[in-house]
Amino acid sequence: MLYSHSTPEQKRVRLREALASGRIQQFPGAFSPLSAKLIDEKGFSGVYISGAVLANDLGLPDIGLTTLTEVATRAGQIARMTDLPSIVDADTGLGESMNVARTVQELENAGLAGCHIEDQVNPKRCGHLDGKAVVDLDTALQRIRAAAEARRDPNFLITARTDIRAAEGIEAAVERAQALVDAGADSIFPEAMASLDEFRAIRDAVDVPILANMTEFGKSRLFTVAELAAVGVNLIIYPVTLLRSAMGAAERTLDALRAEGTQESQVSEMLTRARLYELVDYQAYNSFDADVFNFAIPEVFRDTGVGH
């Protein structure tokens, strides 16, 4: 009911413990606060909040147009609905190093457990597209130093993402990852790795947790949890997976509605009314007022959809 029971500090401790556990963590991307509740209920270990999803959901491309206020507000709305730790994509840190510092403090205030900051130039682009450019080493390190110095909670996880692999190759990525750790990164997100061997190369080069991005239609094959665990990855994100699934379903429903004049053929694919109410914990609000949930949902509407 209402928001999660855990404080942001507790969630950050939980994330640190999970990363130290030796067990690989799966963080699906939530496209909304409600979807974060579903991720939580399904037993995942954390929630990822994607910059691409945040931008695309506003109808914008993922090129660094979103503002700190938009990112912190949406990420905060998502993070507060789950007891799981949430990690948000802070793109390039949203400006110069002093802006990066402010970004980190705002994300701490919003209740996030951590964020990642990348070394792309602005305007940035999806890490799995061609034609990316990265900033020089000094600028990349300044961003991470500023982030690490700005945080007030030492458990707020600063992940340095490097996009250098696509431009300069895996050796350059290994070198940059090491330098980013020396600058204060708590973990490394090597973007657009072409193979499991490349993840292994990063693993062998740094002794902090590493993150793998299993985004669809990208540069990496969709490696399994077992494959990534075997090369020493600690955390896997599935950034756009739920948005793509939900929008795919929305498109199919709209097509059917146009073609058939009714949505009837799609109802069996939908979340039922009962299931939706269960996810928002509707009945629990009776603890405030017994008249809040005093109706029955007809049996015929209870079991047609997914999940129930």
Query: Which of the residues are catalytic?
Result: 48, 62, 89, 91, 116, 118, 126, 161, 191, 213
Using CB under 5 A, which of 40, 89, 106, 108 touches Mg ion?
89
Output DSSP code: residue 214. Answer: -
Q: How far is the CB of 283 from ligand MIC (least distance, A)?
A: 34
**Measured between alpha carbons, how far is 202 from 22 in angstroms, rounded to an integer?**
17
Q: What is the number of alpha carbons within 13 Å of residue 144 lying toward its C-beta? A: 29
Residue with tokens 């949430």: 86
| Residue numbers 49-78 binding ligand MIC by CB under 6 A | 50-52, 62
Q: Which of Mg ion, ligand MIC, none does residue 187 bind to, with CB < 5 to 8 Å depending on kind?
A: none
Closest to ligand MIC by CB, 51 vs 275, is 51
109/112 Cα distance (integer angstroms): 8
Q: Could you give the CA distance from residue 80 to residue 6 in angstroms, rounded to a whole number?
A: 9
Binding ligand MIC (rule: CB under 6 A), the pick from 73, 121, 175, 218 is: 218
Sequence-distant (6+) residues with CB within 8 A of 266 are 252, 253, 256, 257
Binds 213: which of ligand MIC, Mg ion, none (CB < 5-8 Å by kind): ligand MIC
- What are residue 258's phi and psi, to 5 degrees? -65, -45
Q: How many residues make contact with ligand MIC (CB under 6 A)?
A: 13
Identify residues 45-74 at the interface with Mg ion (CB under 5 A): 51-52
Least distance between ligand MIC and beta carbon 145 (Å): 22
Q: Which of 134, 131, 128 is nearest to 219 (CA)?
A: 128
Closer residue to ligand MIC in complex, CB, 62/106: 62
Instruction: Kindly list the residues in this chain that would bind Mg ion in the complex (CB under 5 A).
Output: 51-52, 89
